[in-house]
């Protein structure tokens, strides 16, 4: 892809949330991630863009499984927006660079659906798959991890929190 001057264009993804009243000018505020931004800022960003892609709203509570093992882009985006980072205790790798792990393995009937997918960086995906680390989903976006030694952590949108040993 080339920009307007013929130089290679950089790809940037910005998730901006606007309403119909923002588009009509009745509401001067949009949202970028969890921050309010002005519609003037949105206009400035769009004015410098060589390409703008508008996608529909992603409902993070939507459960539409697919029958294949391969993960559709809409599912990946939903999981990345829900979890932001690798969900292994204390890992901060961005979800967009992670593998998506089937909580209940696809080969054992686990659906390919955001409700059954968790972002794990390659290192932690391998630790979960090939060692005695394991986790449970306690609610969407919240995970209870157990180490091979029986130590437990809760990982959620607020970070990693230790739990007492299991008995």
**Which tens digit of pLDDT belongs to each residue from 87-130?**
999 999 999 999 999 999 999 999 999 999 999 999 999 999 99
Work out the average pLDDT over 1-18.
Answer: 64
What's the farthest any 2 CA atoms get from each other in the chain? 65
Residues 43-61: pLDDT tens digits?
888 787 777 777 777 777 7
* Those residues with Cβ within 8 angstroms of residue 115's Cβ, 6 or more apart along the chain or in another chain: 63, 140
Q: Identify whether the C-beta of residue 113 lies closer than 8 Å to the C-beta of residue 72.
A: no
pLDDT at residue 164 tops 90: no
Instruction: Using the Cα atoms of residue 55, residue 61, residue 66 and residue 68 in order, give the sign of their dihedral.
Output: positive
Across the chain, what does the average pLDDT equal?
86
DSSP, residue by residue, 54-84? --PPP-TT----BSSSSPPHHHHHHHHHHH-
- Per DSSP, 155 falls in state E
Work out the average pLDDT over 19-28.
Answer: 80
Work out the average pLDDT over 64-76.
Answer: 90
What is the helix (H) or strand (E) element at residue 22, kind and residue range? helix 20-24
> What pLDDT score does 22 carry?
77
Could you tell me how far CA 167 lies from the centroid of its own chain?
33
* Percent of the chain residues past pLDDT 90, beyond the cut: 53
d(C-alpha 54, C-alpha 76), whole Å: 17
Q: Is the pTM of this model over 0.75?
A: no
């Amino acid at each position: 892809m080339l920009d307007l001057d013929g130089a290679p264009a950089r790809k940037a993804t910005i998730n901006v949330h606007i309403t119909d009243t923002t588009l009509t000018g009745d509401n001067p505020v949009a949202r970028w991630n969890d921050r309010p931004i002005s519609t003037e800022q949105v206009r400035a960003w769009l004015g410098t863009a060589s390409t703008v892609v508008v996608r529909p709203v992603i409902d993070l509570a939507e459960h539409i499984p697919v029958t294949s093992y391969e993960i559709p882009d809409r599912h990946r985006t939903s999981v990345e927006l829900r979890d932001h980072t690798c969900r292994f205790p204390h890992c901060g790798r961005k979800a967009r660079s992670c593998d998506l792990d089937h909580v209940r393995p696809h080969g054992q009937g686990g659906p390919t659906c955001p409700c059954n997918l968790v972002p794990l960086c390659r290192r932690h995906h391998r630790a979960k798959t090939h060692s005695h680390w394991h986790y449970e989903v306690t609610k969407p976006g919240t995970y209870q991890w157990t180490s091979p030694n029986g130590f437990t952590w809760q990982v959620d949108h607020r970070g990693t929190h230790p739990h007492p040993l299991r008995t």
